């Protein structure tokens, strides 16, 4: 039963991979170009105005957060615009649901796909950063995909929930402006949260992205990995579980009218 | 399975009793089973629907429909736009949950066992919903995987069915390059990948040219000959007449008539029909036909007069000095128009 569900979900992952693969170069190039541009403009440009932070250069501070940010954008765009287009304009699921595939398999498949894609993104960006000497311990690179998954799943769920509420594709812009953007700017990617008033700190710490940023920083900086992961991984798992469940029931009522 | 088959077989049971009285052996049981299989009609139905309802919010799209689809038959579901045909079909394969009523497909409840049910049926959906990101072959191999064709057999299964639908030459093309008729045929291929026992065709030929339509009718007949059960919706009455063994006509979520095409013609529109050209003054003709209590129906395309015999219509022509555009035996379209009314099609 569960085995069958996993098998069917996996076919959906394969489907998305086949489509992704067709424009592989176009799809994969931001993984390399994004960090390269970030290093140039933010690290070297802006960084020269910023004094050393906690014994590290601004680029060193910035790199792990930027890597996690790419996972968030990947996950959000995949399950918002991407899923919406597949559901509405391409009606991909209409025919799928006439096969042994059910809504459960569709959702599981989409999440596996989002998790893999986010993992790939964080890993790819980190490889580039590694080449620019941003890893204290290169072996830590191997754990970066886990951060991608832990961030990709809850953010992917946010996108999926949004997909169920929007009345047309333009409304994703609102979700982006009021949820995704603030997450990006207030999760300790660009500056240490300790700089901010306590209210803002508290706000940031409640949001999921912050925890992913902290995880990734521990990997890049090779600092307190075990202790940091012990605290922040459970938070992200809890977020994943809760948002996934919410997304599941929303999509269920949407696809199974 | 066998138990329920016997439960529905009273005539054969009495046959068995007679044979048993003649003190024949257990072998008779096999004969009985064999007869059941041959005649089919005493086996349990493939789809059994009882008083099924479906509401979307306050709007009730299906309002207490009952019918049975027997193994091996082609069952038609007719009705104007918005009658609730697709909604009913969606409930049959579990894509939509019924609000109330009883529904069994292969003896299972779609709300509980939709996966097991869907493994045994194939659907030609009303919308093609082909995956435009993929080529013809990728589309079909993906769906072959969905319906559980083992990996090493997929390629061959897809090849065979593309051949069956005369699409072999399009194997590596992107979907967008296929014409409407080719896409529709591809949807047939997709529905047949899992070797389904029940094939559901939701308006399979809408928007297709007559040649493709005839080709698809041939394919449907081939499927019937293979013993598959078929559920067909269509707006082409001729198509229903050609393909369906039995059918129901739905309107506004209810079944308003059911039977074989012949039954329906005889019950609701027997005889012959004359169609007189539009744009002329029908008054005298209408009165003349009316006074003989022939059925008269007028719309923008002309005046339809239905009489019991062909001679009646010939007399009518002679009497009014008019030549009908068409003189023909009544058909399902006459039944459909009479029962659902031409005006209903306008606002649906
Ligand atoms: N998901 C839905 N939400 C709300 N109303 C719906 C939904 N699906 C169908 N309906 C309504 O239910 C009614 C029946 O629709 P359905 O698609 O079953 O008709 P149909 O007989 O298949 O018509 P057609 O011949 O046009 O395909 C229509 O009035 C339609 O607007
Ligand atoms: Mg329909």
3-state helix, strand, coil in chain B (%, to 5): 45, 25, 30
- Those residues with Cβ within 8 angstroms of residue A156's Cβ, 6 or more apart along the chain or in another chain: A75, A76, A78, A79, A110, A111, A114, A115, A118, A247
Do you know the residue count of chain A?
257
Using a CB-CB distance cutoff of 8 angstroms, which residues of chain A are in contact with residue B112?
Answer: none
Coil, strand or helix at A89: coil
Using a CB-CB distance cutoff of 8 angstroms, which residues of chain A are in contact with residue B93?
Answer: 98
Token digits of residue B51: 């008083």
For the stretch B291-295, contacts whose Cβ atoms lie closer than 8 Å and that sit 24 or more positions apart, written own/partner, are B292/B316, B295/B269, B295/B338
Helix ranges restricted to H, A80-195: 83-88, 92-96, 103-131, 144-165, 172-175, 181-185
Token digits of residue B256: 């308003």
* Residues B259 and B316 grouped into a single domain: no
* Residues B141 and B184 grouped into a single domain: yes
* Residues B258 and B277 grouped into a single domain: no
Using CA of residue A169, residue A173, residue A175, residue A176, what is the dihedral sign? positive
Q: Of the candidates B118, B128, B132, which has its C-beta nearest A98's C-beta?
A: B118
Per-residue pLDDT, B34: 53
- Those residues with Cβ within 8 angstroms of residue A206's Cβ, 6 or more apart along the chain or in another chain: none
Per-residue pLDDT, A38: 78
3-state helix, strand, coil in chain A (%, to 5): 85, 0, 15
Q: What's the mean pLDDT in B165-182?
A: 94
Q: What is the CATH number of the domain that holds B208?
A: 3.40.50.300
CB atoms within 10 A of CB B167: 20
* Residues B205 and B320 grouped into a single domain: no
Q: In this structure, is residue B160 part of a structural domain?
A: yes
Residue A23 touches chain B, beta carbons under 8 Å: no
- Ligand at minimal distance from the CA of B61 is 1
Measured distance CA(B47)–CA(B49) in Å, rounded: 7
Q: In this structure, is residue B243 part of a structural domain?
A: yes
Nearest CA residue ID for atom 24, ligand 1:
B81
User: Mean pLDDT over all residues of chain B?
Assistant: 86
Using a CB-CB distance cutoff of 8 angstroms, which residues of chain A are in contact with residue B147?
Answer: 99-100
Token digits of residue B310: 């062909």
Per-residue pLDDT, B18: 46
Q: What's the first-to-final CA gap in chain B, in angstroms?
A: 42
Measured distance CA(B117)–CA(B131) in Å, rounded: 23
B82 Cα: distance to centroid of ligand 2 (angstroms): 7
* Residues B154 and B171 grouped into a single domain: yes
Measured distance CA(A189)–CA(A182) in Å, rounded: 11
Q: In this structure, is residue B310 part of a structural domain?
A: yes
CA A25 to centroid of chain Cα atoms: 20
**Overall domain count for chain B:** 2
| Residue where a domain stops, chosen among B264, B284, B304 | B264
Per-residue pLDDT, B30: 54
* Residues B116 and B207 grouped into a single domain: yes
Report the share of chain B in percent with pLDDT over 70: 85
| Residue where a domain stops, chosen among B220, B237, B264 | B264
* Residues B233 and B217 grouped into a single domain: yes
Per-residue pLDDT, B277: 83
Q: What is the pLDDT of residues B219-234, one digit of tens each?
A: 999 999 999 999 999 9
Using a CB-CB distance cutoff of 8 angstroms, which residues of chain A are in contact with residue B119?
Answer: 100
Tell me the CA distances in angstroms from B164 to A62, A98, B220, B225, one per residue in order.
Answer: 59, 22, 12, 15
Residue B343 has pLDDT above 80, yes or no: no
- Reported as a pLDDT band with limits 50, 70 and 90, residue B246 is very high
Could A90 and B127 be called an inter-chain contact, meaning their C-beta atoms sit closer than 8 Å? Answer: no
The strand order across the sheet containing B198-202 reads B121-124, B198-202, B229-233, B74-78, B246-251, B254-259
User: Mean pLDDT over all residues of chain A?
Assistant: 91
B298 Cα: distance to centroid of ligand 1 (angstroms): 28
Q: In this structure, is residue B99 part of a structural domain?
A: yes
Residue A54 touches chain B, beta carbons under 8 Å: no
Q: In this structure, is residue B12 part of a structural domain?
A: no
- Reported as a pLDDT band with limits 50, 70 and 90, residue B270 is confident
Could B123 and A15 be called an inter-chain contact, meaning their C-beta atoms sit closer than 8 Å? Answer: no
Of B144, B129, B143, B213, the closest CA to residue B175 belongs to B129
- Reported as a pLDDT band with limits 50, 70 and 90, residue B241 is very high
Among A149-163, B284-298, B334-348, where is mean pLDDT lowest? Answer: B334-348
CB pairs A-B closer than 8 Å:
66
Could B146 and A101 be called an inter-chain contact, meaning their C-beta atoms sit closer than 8 Å? Answer: yes
* Residues B163 and B282 grouped into a single domain: no
- Reported as a pLDDT band with limits 50, 70 and 90, residue B345 is very low
Using a CB-CB distance cutoff of 8 angstroms, which residues of chain B are in contact with residue A11?
Answer: 142, 145-146
Tell me the CA distances in angstroms from B193 to B46, B74, B123, one per residue in order.
Answer: 20, 20, 10
Among A5-9, B38-42, B296-300, where is mean pLDDT lowest? Answer: B38-42
* Residues B144 and B188 grouped into a single domain: yes
Residue A47 has pLDDT above 80, yes or no: no
Could B146 and A22 be called an inter-chain contact, meaning their C-beta atoms sit closer than 8 Å? Answer: no
What dihedral do alpha carbons B302, B303, B306, B307 form, nearest 10°?
-130
Residue A90 touches chain B, beta carbons under 8 Å: yes
Per-residue pLDDT, B287: 85
Report the residue of A7, A95, A257 to disrupt the B interface, i.e. the one with the largest count of B CBs within 10 Å.
A95
The pick from B84, B89, B97, B123 for probing ligand 1's pocket by mutation, whose C-beta has the most ligand atoms within 8 angstroms, reads B84
Range of the domain at B311: 271-329
* Residues B223 and B306 grouped into a single domain: no
Q: What is the pLDDT of residues B14-64, one digit of tens each?
A: 544 544 454 444 444 455 555 555 554 556 899 999 999 999 999 999 999
The strand order across the sheet containing B59-69 reads B59-69, B47-56, B100-105
Q: What is the pLDDT of residues A142-194, one digit of tens each?
A: 999 999 999 999 999 999 999 999 999 999 999 999 999 999 998 988 888 88
Q: In this structure, is residue B65 part of a structural domain?
A: yes
Residue A257 touches chain B, beta carbons under 8 Å: yes
- Reported as a pLDDT band with limits 50, 70 and 90, residue A96 is very high
Measured distance CA(B287)–CA(B282) in Å, rounded: 8
| Cβ atoms of A105 and B94 closer than 8 Å | no
- Reported as a pLDDT band with limits 50, 70 and 90, residue B279 is low
* Residues B146 and B255 grouped into a single domain: yes
Residue A91 touches chain B, beta carbons under 8 Å: yes
The answer to whether ipTM exceeds 0.90 is no
Domain boundaries, chain A: 67-256
Which has the higher per-residue pLDDT, B333 or B225? B225
Residue B126 has pLDDT above 90, yes or no: yes
CB atoms within 10 A of CB A89: 10
Measured distance CA(B172)–CA(B186) in Å, rounded: 13
Residue B80 has pLDDT above 60, yes or no: yes
**Protein residues with CB under 6 Å of any ligand 1 atom:** A 257; B 56, 59, 61, 79, 81-87, 126
* Residues B234 and B305 grouped into a single domain: no
Among A201-215, B8-22, B91-105, where is mean pLDDT lowest? Answer: B8-22
């Amino acid at each position: 039963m569960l085995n069958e569900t996993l098998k069917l979900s996996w076919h959906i992952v394969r489907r998305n991979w086949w489509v992704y693969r067709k424009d592989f170069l176009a799809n994969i190039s931001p993984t390399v170009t994004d960090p390269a541009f970030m290093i140039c403009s933010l690290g070297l440009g802006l960084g020269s105005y910023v004094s050393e932070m906690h014994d590290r250069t601004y680029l060193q501070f910035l790199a792990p957060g930027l890597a996690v940010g790419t996972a968030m954008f990947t996950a959000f765009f995949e399950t918002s615009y991407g899923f919406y287009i597949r559901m509405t304009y391409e009606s991909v699921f209409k025919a799928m649901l006439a096969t042994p595939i059910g809504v459960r398999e569709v959702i599981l498949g989409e999440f596996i796909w989002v998790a893999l894609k986010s993992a790939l993104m964080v890993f790819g960006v980190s490889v580039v950063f590694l080449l620019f000497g941003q890893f204290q311990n290169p072996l830590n690179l191997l754990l970066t995909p886990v951060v991608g998954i832990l961030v990709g799943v809850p953010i992917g769920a946010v996108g999926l929930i949004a997909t169920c509420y929007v009345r047309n594709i333009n409304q994703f812009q609102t979700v982006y402006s009021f949820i995704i953007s603030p997450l990006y700017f207030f999760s300790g990617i660009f500056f240490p949260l300790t700089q901010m008033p306590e209210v803002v700190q508290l706000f940031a710490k409640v949001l999921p992205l912050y925890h992913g940023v902290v995880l990734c920083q521990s990997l890049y900086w090779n600092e307190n990995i075990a202790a940091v992961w012990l605290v922040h991984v459970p938070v992200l798992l809890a977020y994943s579980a809760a948002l996934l469940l919410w997304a599941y029931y929303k999509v269920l009522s949407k696809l199974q009218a | 399975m066998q138990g329920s088959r016997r439960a529905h077989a009273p005539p054969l049971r009495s046959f068995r009793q007679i044979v048993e009285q003649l003190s024949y052996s257990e072998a008779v049981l096999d004969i009985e089973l064999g007869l059941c299989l041959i005649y089919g009609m005493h086996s349990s139905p493939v789809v059994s629907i009882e008083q099924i309802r479906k509401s979307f919010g306050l709007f009730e799209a299906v309002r207490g429909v009952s019918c049975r689809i027997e193994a091996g038959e082609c069952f038609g579901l007719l009705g104007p736009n918005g009658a609730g045909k697709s909604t009913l079909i969606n409930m049959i394969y579990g894509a939509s949950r019924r609000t109330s009523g009883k529904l069994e497909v292969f003896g299972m409840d779609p709300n509980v066992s939709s996966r097991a049910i869907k493994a045994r049926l194939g659907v030609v959906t009303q919308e093609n919903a082909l995956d435009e990101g993929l080529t013809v072959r990728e589309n079909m191999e993906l769906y072959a995987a969905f319906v559980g064709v083992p990996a090493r057999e997929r390629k061959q299964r897809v090849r065979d069915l593309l051949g069956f639908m005369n699409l072999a030459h399009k194997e590596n093309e992107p979907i967008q390059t296929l014409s409407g008729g080719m896409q529709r045929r591809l949807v047939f291929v997709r529905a047949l990948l899992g070797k389904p026992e029940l094939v559901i065709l939701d308006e399979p030929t809408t928007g297709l040219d007559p040649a493709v339509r005839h080709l698809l009718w041939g394919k449907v007949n081939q499927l019937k000959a293979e013993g598959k059960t078929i559920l067909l919706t269509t707006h082409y009455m001729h198509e229903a007449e050609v393909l369906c063994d039995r059918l129901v006509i739905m309107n506004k979520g209810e079944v308003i008539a059911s039977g074989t095409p012949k039954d329906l013609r005889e019950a609701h529109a027997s005889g012959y029909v004359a169609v007189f050209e539009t744009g002329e003054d029908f008054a005298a003709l209408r009165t003349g036909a009316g006074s003989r209590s022939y059925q008269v129906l007028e719309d923008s395309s002309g005046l339809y007069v239905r009489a019991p015999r062909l001679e009646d219509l010939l007399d009518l022509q002679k009497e009014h000095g008019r030549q009908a555009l068409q003189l023909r035996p009544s058909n399902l379209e006459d039944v459909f128009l009479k029962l659902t009314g031409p005006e209903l099609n306008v606002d649906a």
